A and B are shown apart, each in its own frame.
Chain A
Amino acid sequence: MTVATSDTPLARFLHAYFSSRIAVIATLVLLLLTLAAICAPLIAPQNPYDLTKLDIMDSRLEPGKVSSDGKLVYLMGTDEQGRDMLSAILYGLRISIAVGFASTAAALAIGLALGMVAGYAGGRIESLIMRVADIQLSFPPILIALVLLALSGPGVGKIIIALIAVQWAYYARTARSAALVERGKEYMEAAAGLGLSPLRIVLRHLLPNCLPPLIVIAALQVASAISLEATLSFLGLGLPVTEPSLGLLISNGFQYLLSGTYWISFYPGLALLLTVAAINLVADQLRDVLNPRLQGI
């Protein structure tokens, strides 16, 4: 990388980050997928949500077949509604990535705020927040999401809420322990001694020091949020059918797998796999670079 010679922390980070070829590839794949997801309405051959564009007579066409009106080649085939799979995957990717990132971002914000408050304030507030977080962390995410969704019914908003509920405690705990470490340090006392407001101390001093581990966890959580959403959709508790995410596309095509109509499930599966694997690899590299001592998953 060209930045190797300069010596700002960012340059050092970038250099270290891009020293692994797998990380470079994963980052590129992720960027590409994200770009494709963002630009889905522009690049997709069909708007898969516009019912007037679908034709039931084009259902379950193999990849490469031409639509009955002759205007479109279905590069990845069609599903049982005659929906172009390529378009459906692009739009599905959009939803999956949006759900993954939105829920993670929101959970990060909530968890960070609560964790910092806990770490900074201490006392009863701390023990209340952390007790709730601990209890929640002792339950597997899928169980919590399952119960919440079963009780609230399906929908994009609801699945995002469920995913936030599943994630926030991780960030809260990490943020708190980082805050605790920082709180003990001298500059914090100095900052307090200078009469800086607590908010300012938190924002200017605590936050930057909490961030690296949180970024790594967040990256991993985006991946797990996406696959959790897919699993919930498979169990019939996820998103509505008309605006399918990748997980729902796979589960729609699930029953076609044995009959040889593989493409309905296979291509979305591949897209999901690529997305989740790319995010995981990026997260992996981030962890190695940002904090070599952060162990575990």
Chain B
Amino acid sequence: MRKPESGATYIITGFGARAPHISGNFMHKTARNLRIALFAAGLLAMSAAAAADLKIGLSADVSSLDPHYLNIAPNINLSSHLFDTLVLVDPNGKLVPGLATSWRTVDDTTWEFKLRRGVKFHDGSELTADDVLFSLERPATLTASPGPFTSYTRQIVDKKAVDPYTVQLKTATPYGPLPLDMSSIFIVSKKAAQNAATEDFNSGRALVGTGPFKFASFARGDRVVLTRNDQYWGGKSAWDKVTFRIITASAPRLAALLAGDVDMIETVPTADLAKLKADAKFTLEQKISWRTIFWHVDQQAHRSPFVTDKAGKPLDKNPLADVRVRQAMSKAIDRKAMAARTMEGLALPASNIVSPGIFGYNDALKVEAYDPDGAKKLLAEAGYPDGFGLTLHGPNNRYINDERIVQTVAQFFSRIGIQTKVQTLPLSVYFSKARAGEFSVALLGWGTLAGDFGLRTLVGTPNPDTGWGTWNWGRYSNPQVDALVKSALSSVDQVKREGYAKQAAALALKEEAVIPLHHQYASWAMRRGLSYPGRVDEFTFAHQVRPQ
């Protein structure tokens, strides 16, 4: 753990220059934490052998152990225990050194990553630039994947190992978020993985990483067992053995914690928060998540599929295309009441599409105040004094209390005269239909560690050639916003980049490109005696769980 080189090197984090020496701080703090952890672990190990076992109830199934196969949260969560990335994300969403100790731009389109020296894979071999290059190439070779990691490697047009501990990556155009992309690609051992198929990862044979844990066993749909990697470069974990139990239904997951079958669970059902808070046997940890919940609103001028007059006849003109109507809808929502009641405290009213603290968050934007009278006035101005008919769509069981959010918002809309109906659908149907533009107003939750990324995908003008607006269901389009986002993405200077991102956000949200509702809280509950920092990206990392 060497101090980063000075001079031309600057450490890049999600917050860019605002925390130039975060890396050093991180090292220091980590070391102290580790000492404490080791001490505590030692104590516990003396008192009871089982104390070094940790059982965690996960809310989603791990579908594959291949770290490059499917880009979904549960898989990434697990892979993070076995593998490292060049750039790591700290609990607050900031980028910190991982297998790369530092990175810098050589020129506008070339990035250089310095590798940590002396890092050992689980099989004892040492990490070199070869493994990194191999790992960056591998996602593109997994053509059978429906959700590949190629989104994070596609900007790289060329890569080379300058020496065994230095890697250079080249992009076609200036590209600021590359380090963020590098936080998503797990570095595997070339030796173990080069001839391995996905099956070999699932059996554990090819599961050779540098992470804090080694693979022990995997019972699909039931549990994954890991054991400690004593050679971990970041210090030994407090846990000899970690068992992840997969309990997707929320009530049984909580029951498992209450019954003592697991030590800790993620995604605590909101219904039980109050009870757990009051129970001295358990500790609750909450953290604002990166996930923002908002409405996509169909902004096409012509007829919208679920907008009708009050009698149910389709309207030829789409009222939602009028910014005043969208503002009225936003004012009609009592976000505070919803956070308190529908979300039972697990939400922070939102004004942005990224959470506070995330790169690109614009704190100049204020949460729209609850103002039903103002909303009615705006509706009248827009020519709908009596409102109109509308159906809200949402997924069931994708985001925290999603089905209830839709219903509560329907309540609010009804009060300003918009006759609102609700339809919630299973994900399988929902995403396909939403993507096909079959809804008028549809709920989406989005988590990202960079505001410009989010804007590009959510409100950028949809264009298959540039890959913009892939999740822009409302088909909002503003060339000014597009231009600003483009400037942000191509800025390798992170301060400038964030500036553009904030401007773009302000512009888009002033026009209610989407109607933000809230940032959800991620939650963890654990037996007393454990502590977890809580992660903005909602992941549950055993190595960050500490005995108190």
- List residues of chain A with CB under 8 Å of any chain B CB: 50-52, 54-57, 59-60, 80-82, 150, 153-154, 236-237, 240-242, 254-261
Q: What is the minimal beta-carbon distance from A101 to any residue of chain B, in angstroms?
A: 25
Give chain B residues whose Cβ lies under 8 Å from the Cβ of A51: 407, 410-411, 413-414, 420
B274 touches A (CB below 8 Å): yes
Per the 8 Å Cβ criterion, residues 232-273 of B in contact with A are: 250-251, 254-255, 258, 269, 271-272
Assess A255 versus B250: contact at CB under 8 Å? Given A154-B425, A241-B407. yes
Q: What is the minimal beta-carbon distance from A215 to any residue of chain B, in angstroms?
A: 37
What separation, in Å, do the CA atoms of A257 and B413 have in the docked complex? 30
Give chain B residues whose Cβ lies under 8 Å from the Cβ of A54: 411
Look across to chain B and name the residue whose beta carbon is closest to the beta carbon of A80: B404
Give chain A residues whose Cβ lies under 8 Å from the Cβ of B275: 258-260
B411 adjacent to A153 (CB under 8 Å) = no
| Residue among B341, B401, B420, B422 with the highest chain A CB neighbour number at 10 A | B341
Q: What is the minimal beta-carbon distance from A296 to any residue of chain B, in angstroms?
A: 34
Question: DSSP majority for the B interface?
Answer: helix
B415 adjacent to A81 (CB under 8 Å) = no
Extra contacts, 4 of them, besides A241-B403, A260-B275 (Cβ < 8 A), are A56-B338, A254-B251, A255-B250, A255-B269
Give chain B residues whose Cβ lies under 8 Å from the Cβ of A240: 422-424
Q: What is the minimal beta-carbon distance from B259 to any residue of chain A, in angstroms?
A: 10
B420 adjacent to A57 (CB under 8 Å) = no
Give chain B residues whose Cβ lies under 8 Å from the Cβ of A52: 411, 414-415
Q: What is the minimal beta-carbon distance from A111 to any residue of chain B, in angstroms?
A: 30
A56 adjacent to B408 (CB under 8 Å) = yes
Give chain A residues whose Cβ lies under 8 Å from the Cβ of B403: 241
Contact of A258 among B254, B407, B411 (CB under 8 A): B254
B274 adjacent to A259 (CB under 8 Å) = yes
A-B contact pairs, 21 of them (CB 8 A): A51-B414, A54-B411, A55-B411, A57-B341, A80-B271, A80-B341, A80-B401, A81-B342, A81-B404, A81-B411, A236-B396, A236-B397, A240-B423, A240-B424, A241-B407, A241-B422, A242-B407, A242-B422, A242-B423, A257-B251, A259-B274
A56 adjacent to B334 (CB under 8 Å) = yes
Give chain B residues whose Cβ lies under 8 Å from the Cβ of A242: 407, 410, 421-423
Look across to chain A and name the residue whose beta carbon is closest to the beta carbon of B411: A51
B411 adjacent to A56 (CB under 8 Å) = yes
B337 touches A (CB below 8 Å): yes
What separation, in Å, do the CA atoms of A25 and B406 have in the docked complex? 42
Per the 8 Å Cβ criterion, residues 339-364 of B in contact with A are: 341-342
Give chain A residues whose Cβ lies under 8 Å from the Cβ of B272: 255, 258-259
A241 adjacent to B424 (CB under 8 Å) = yes
Q: What is the minimal beta-carbon distance from B434 to any residue of chain A, in angstroms?
A: 14
B429 touches A (CB below 8 Å): yes
What separation, in Å, do the CA atoms of A256 and B191 have in the docked complex? 50
Give chain B residues whose Cβ lies under 8 Å from the Cβ of A255: 250-251, 269, 271-272
What separation, in Å, do the CA atoms of A256 and B254 have in the docked complex? 11
B414 adjacent to A259 (CB under 8 Å) = no
What separation, in Å, do the CA atoms of A256 and B342 have in the docked complex? 13
